[in-house]
Structure 1
Amino acid sequence: MISDLRDAWQEMLEAQRTFNSLWPSAVVHAQVWLLPINREAKGLTQITPHELVGEPAIEATKKAILQFEQEEGQHPSTVMRLPGWIGVSGSVLEAAREANAARDRFLHVLAEDARSMNLKSLSKGKHARTALKLPLVIKQIERHIQVFEGVPRRILFTWAGKTAAPESIPVKDVIEKVELQLAEAVAKADMDKERGLRMELKALGFLDSKAELHRYRPIAPHPRVMLYFSKSSRYDAMPHANLPIFVSLDEKQPWPKVDPLEAFDAEQAQAERSDKVPRQEIIPRLGLYLKTTDRKRRNASVATAVETLPRTSVISTYGQRQR
């Protein structure tokens, strides 16, 4: 129900405000990097971070934690990011867990609301924006606040650049999307587009609705952070760097070595890895192929998932549906 969604929204906002009321008084050091917003759907080819330290960093972090709406000029398919780190002298873990749980509850209510109204999965965001009358960015709500109750020996910020992520998409979801686009084309009397979409639906009709298609989804350049707690040369945790991370810090103890976020230049970024898996093209416009089972890749994915788990006993929010 819309009333439940509004209640969950208010509850979520209150949990974020509660978190924001607690951590600033415990700050020992704060360092973040402002990034330009994307005004177009495509990723930026050059990004120059603007560093903030101390009180300006604290204020920017408080704003980012509560920022679930589009900024002026921000393209609706993009997200705002504020990479950085906050060192605190006291525990803020439980308040962060409550803030994260409130985000998850809102998303759960939204999913249940959409299901009860028999909305298509692609319409959840639109439904939330209509019900709350706000330009929400669902991906910004999905983020978790990451807190580590330990002092890392090193914090490394870097960029993920020219990469592509393998993505499995159920055929039924693709049909949903094409049907929505077809309805729009019919409403606009765009005969050429309508013809092409009907051909795509016909091609999809030969596939089992429970089958999955494969797509390599280009990823826009985004910041990432690696934390090293142990003496190992491999990082112990790599949470998303969409929001500043929180770590324990003591002014009288050694601080972590911090590798700051440098400027991004697509020309110097690592080239996209080649894809040698044989695939049968289904919808060229959407870059969709029949998924090919590949044992080597599947095993590599499992190994990667294991390797990115924390390797130390540091208590944290990491790994709990991290965003």
Structure 2
Amino acid sequence: MQRLGKKNYSSVSEFILLGFSSDSQVGMALFTFFLLLYLTTLLGNGLIVTLIYLDSHLHIPMYFFLSILSLVDISYVTTTVPQMLVNMVCPRRTIPWGACIAQMFIFLVLGIAECVLYAIMAYDRYIAICFPLHYMLLMSHLTCIKMVTVCWTISIAGALIYTVITMHLPYCGPHKINHFFCEVPALLKLACADTSLNDKLDFILGFILLLVPLFLILVSYVRIFASILRIRSSQGRLKSFSTCASHITVVTMFYGPAMTMYMRPSSWYDPERDKKLALFYNVVSAFLNPIIYSLRNKDIKEAFLKVFGDR
């Protein structure tokens, strides 16, 4: 893996994000669609955070982590969608070198944080269902803060490694990124150097940051389902399972596309497919999360009626 020389660094001062379509009519239709999707995502996740903050009955670890997830989703889409919307109406579609690095780093921090946060939320459900009498003791406020701190520490460290090993490659042209934002796999295709070492490091990081949290989630749910099956009451089993169904749904939506993107060989690179995958685990997932949690969560519905019904 070559280090970035001064000559190579100065030869590419900005990149061009090709996005989805160069046709003006299609571009305006996509602009309208993604703008509405973005605003709805901000509204839905912002509503979740507001309800959890205002309703004291939701001041428990489960909803604390859900509020963190909603804040991450708001930041996640804001990292990519505004830039994409600007590029749809701006003919140049350029992004400076420094802005591209910043976007990549922030995107990775938030993406890794979401992976780790899903594992924390699965552990929270495991404690709540398998050790209900000790739940508030084991999941104290201090413990929750420590978990979130560890989550952000892992996220920043992982994103920093990804960004450094990607941006230390020489980029001497072409400078057109066939994507709607600066994502690692798309940027690696522009490097004028052997990226085989990067591919190996990316796979190792993907294993640590994607598969390890996924393994912890699976272990948690194996124990949760074993505990649920021991409940004699069918109503009790249904109630316990319903608290996990939303989390299982959002984990499946996020991990499938993310693993396909970051753990496949570079020879499988397909820019059009990658853009669709990135849209799904970045934009669509953040859009659907508040809907899934709201529709399947009685406490959220009651908090909504309580907070806004009184007003």
TM-score normalised to the size of structure 2? 0.28
Higher relative contact order structure (alpha carbons within 8 Å, sequence separation ≥ 6): 2
TM-score normalised to the size of structure 1? 0.27
Give the structure with the higher percent strand: 1
Give the structure with the higher percent helix: 2
